[in-house]
Structure 1
Amino acid sequence: MGKSLEQLKRKYEKTTALLEQEKRKMQRLKNRQAYLESGSRKQRTHRLITHRAAIESIVPQTKELTETEFYSLMDNLLNLPQSVQLIQSAMESHSRSTAQEKGGD
């Protein structure tokens, strides 16, 4: 005839155990993803704070500005032709040094 009731129960228990293992595996993967995303957010936050602190140490007057005033100032400064050239130069220099580090030159 077919499988006995005992065989079906064993198969059900085995399948249930496998399902629970896969659920735990999925939860571990979700936890790992959240951990990695959290780390990248923390790194970004640290970088932003460090950059703002550098600006304030060079130009202490910016401490008094509101966020809107600060953003407006940065937008105006960073869109000046001299600033654009300096930024491009810095990025090219960074790219060259990164390429040398990777290439071992």
Structure 2
Amino acid sequence: MAKQKTIPELEAEKSENERKLSQLQHKKQQIENRITYYEKGGRHKRAHHLITRGAAIESVAPLTKVLTETEFYAFAEKALAVPEVKGLLMEAVNEHNRAEQKERC
């Protein structure tokens, strides 16, 4: 039969288990914080990317600054539907792809 533990032994065991629990809770919080950091990192990069693209458009076409968001989207859709603009965009994408292929080789 197992020896029964004394009250001081049980209190020491309880104290040790509480300490371990506290450490595990702290480790869990660190992992959750790390997950949040990495998830936000992607959003921050995307936000930065969108902001810099928008700033580039405004610097090239300053008149777009006066348009509302809805008006700007309508303008962008119309501008990107023009065959010449589609062709220029496709040329830029193809040039990008060629440069990327050269880098890989």
Fold agreement, TM-score > 0.5: yes
Aligned pair count reads 103
Is 1:75 the counterpart of 2:80? The answer is: no
Q: Which has the larger radius of gyration?
A: 2
Residue of structure 1 equivalent to 2:68: 66
Tell me the secondary structure at the aligned position of residue 4 of structure 1: coil
Residue of structure 2 equivalent to 1:53: 55
Q: Deviations over 1:68-91 (max 9, x none)?
A: 100111122223444444444434
Q: Deviations over 1:19-47 (max 9, x none)?
A: 11111111111222222233332222221
Match of 1:35 among 34, 37, 41: 37
Q: Please report how far the alpha carbon of residue 50 of structure 1 lies from its aligned counterpart in structure 2 after TM superposition.
A: 0.9
Q: Superposition pairs for residues 12-23 of structure 1, below 5 Å?
A: 12-23=14-25
Extract unaligned runs of 5+ from structure 1: none
2:5 is aligned with what amino acid? S
Residue of structure 2 equivalent to 1:24: 26
1:63 is aligned with what amino acid? K
Structure 2 CA distance, aligned partners of 1:28 and 1:69? 45
Structure 2 CA distance, aligned partners of 1:7 and 1:80? 82
Structure 2 CA distance, aligned partners of 1:95 and 1:11? 64
Extract unaligned runs of 5+ from structure 2: none
TM value normalised by structure 2: 0.73
Deviates more, 1:1-10 or 1:46-55: 1-10
Question: How high is the sequence identity, in percent, across the aligned residues?
Answer: 38
Q: Indicate how the Cα distance of structure 1 residues 19 and 77 shifts in structure 2: closer, same or farther if over 3 A, else same.
A: same
Q: Indicate how the Cα distance of structure 1 residues 86 and 11 shifts in structure 2: closer, same or farther if over 3 A, else same.
A: farther
Deviates more, 1:26-35 or 1:77-86: 77-86
